[in-house]
């Protein structure tokens, strides 16, 4: 008898048996727990309700509800004077109000809000040309690098031509391989490569905070959003992320949300823990 071969067979059999026990005792209750899934009947009922409201949905409705944590974030610290000088030059005037500081020069205007949002508007006339999509994105990257700085976790998610022919380059935040809705940068580039305007709202992610909580089903989020939508609307995207409106704090907690986007350009955020509409 080949004892070495027999021993190896016993070892393999033992390992397989242990894997089966792990799957049955630990993984199956977590992954295949029926309470974590939406039934086909629930999905069909939700689709019927949307159809009754004349709302079309193109993405597949996720069946699984996930256990999610909130995120701790902090305000991005930028030197206001350096940002304004980079955008407007050294000669500018300042006008302050309760919610923002407004800076003006012959080059344009910069609004910096107390919650950290920055808006830039150029006073120069749009340039003529025929800049390509890739060149517009490269120009936006260069502009950010020379002014407010392009965050390391910023990725360009959309470069779209607008009605006036300019390019809108949009950046979102990617953290731990997850696309976040908390932060956003929008740079508008004219056909000559000039920057017409910029919207900057960015936070620093500290990490996960609090306990994991099972998310509400996607069907529940869709029903919440449907009450806000008009007939004839088309839902084009549905996914989980994290979102918060800008707040007056150095640090705060951001809840996970179901993100619902429409063909008309509207975006809805439904708190994935409470089911409340967070913003539009």
Read off the pLDDT of residues 102-145 as tens digits, 9 standing for 90 and up. 999 999 999 999 999 999 999 988 888 999 999 999 999 999 99
Both 85 and 178 in one domain: the answer is yes
Both 158 and 225 in one domain: the answer is no
Both 133 and 168 in one domain: the answer is yes
Find the range with the poorest average confidence among 31-40, 148-157, 214-223, 250-259: 31-40
Both 265 and 222 in one domain: the answer is yes
- Picking from 147, 182, 203, the residue at the C-terminal end of a domain is 203
Q: Give 268's pLDDT tier (boundaries 50, 70, 90).
A: very high
Q: Give 12's pLDDT tier (boundaries 50, 70, 90).
A: low
In this prediction, residue 124 carries a pLDDT of 87
- Picking from 173, 203, 233, the residue at the C-terminal end of a domain is 203
249: which 2 tokens? 């704090």
Both 141 and 219 in one domain: the answer is no
At a CB cut-off of 8 Å and minimum separation 6, what does 40 contact?
A: none
Q: What is the CATH number of the domain that holds 48?
A: 2.40.128.690
16: which 2 tokens? 């397989």
Both 110 and 185 in one domain: the answer is yes
- Picking from 203, 233, 253, the residue at the C-terminal end of a domain is 203
Cα–Cα distance, 275 to 269 (Å, whole number): 10
Cα–Cα distance, 112 to 84 (Å, whole number): 9
Q: How far is CA 268 from the centre of its chain?
A: 11
In this prediction, residue 30 carries a pLDDT of 46
Using CA atoms, how far residue 26 sits from 12, 20, 38, in Å, is: 21, 10, 21
**DSSP assignment letter at 64:** B
Both 92 and 183 in one domain: the answer is yes
Both 254 and 268 in one domain: the answer is yes
244: which 2 tokens? 């918060």
Cα–Cα distance, 155 to 108 (Å, whole number): 27
Q: Quick one: 147 exposed, middle or buried, by C-beta within 10 A (0-12, 13-18, 19+)?
A: buried
Domain with 193 in it: 77-203
Q: What angle, rounded to 10 degrees, do the helices at 218-226 and 40-52 form?
A: 10
At a CB cut-off of 8 Å and minimum separation 6, what does 157 contact?
A: 170, 171, 172, 179
Q: Give 4's pLDDT tier (boundaries 50, 70, 90).
A: low
For the stretch 14-54, pLDDT in tens is: 566 555 444 444 444 444 455 567 888 999 999 999 999 99
Both 126 and 193 in one domain: the answer is yes
User: Greater confidence, 273 or 38?
Assistant: 273
**Mean pLDDT throughout 232-244?**
95
- pTM to 2 decimals? 0.81
Cα–Cα distance, 48 to 233 (Å, whole number): 15
Cα–Cα distance, 31 to 194 (Å, whole number): 51
Both 161 and 236 in one domain: the answer is no
User: Greater confidence, 223 or 278?
Assistant: 223
Number of domains the chain contains: 3
Both 124 and 219 in one domain: the answer is no
Both 96 and 199 in one domain: the answer is yes
What phi and psi, each to the nearest 5 degrees, are found at residue 207?
Answer: 150, -175
Mean pLDDT for the chain overall: 88
240: which 2 tokens? 């989980």
């Amino acid at each position: 008898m080949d004892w070495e071969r027999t021993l190896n067979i016993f070892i393999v059999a033992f390992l397989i048996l242990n894997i089966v026990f792990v799957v049955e005792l630990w993984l199956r209750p977590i992954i295949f727990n029926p309470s974590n899934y939406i039934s086909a009947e629930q999905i069909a009922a939700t689709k019927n309700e949307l159809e009754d409201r004349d709302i079309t949905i193109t993405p597949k409705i996720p069946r699984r509800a996930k256990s999610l944590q909130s995120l701790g974030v902090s305000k991005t610290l930028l030197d206001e004077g350096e940002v304004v000088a980079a955008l407007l030059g050294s000669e500018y005037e300042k006008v302050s109000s309760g919610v923002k500081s407004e800076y003006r020069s012959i080059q344009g205007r910069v609004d910096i809000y107390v919650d950290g949002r920055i808006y830039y508007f150029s006073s120069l006339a749009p340039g003529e040309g025929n800049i390509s999509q890739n060149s517009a994105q490269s120009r936006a990257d260069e502009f950010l690098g020379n002014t407010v700085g392009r965050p390391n976790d910023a990725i360009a998610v959309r470069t779209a031509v607008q009605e006036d022919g300019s390019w809108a380059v949009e950046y979102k935040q990617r953290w731990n391989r997850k696309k976040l809705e908390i932060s956003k940068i929008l740079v508008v580039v004219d056909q000559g490569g000039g920057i017409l305007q910029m919207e900057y709202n960015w936070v620093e992610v500290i990490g996960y905070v609090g306990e994991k909580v099972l998310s509400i089903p996607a069907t529940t989020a869709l029903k919440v959003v449907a009450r806000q939508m008009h007939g004839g609307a088309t839902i084009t995207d549905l996914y989980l992320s994290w979102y918060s409106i800008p707040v007056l704090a150095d640090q705060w907690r951001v809840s996970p949300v179901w993100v619902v986007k429409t063909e008309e350009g509207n975006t809805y955020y439904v708190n994935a823990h409470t089911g409340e509409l967070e913003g539009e």
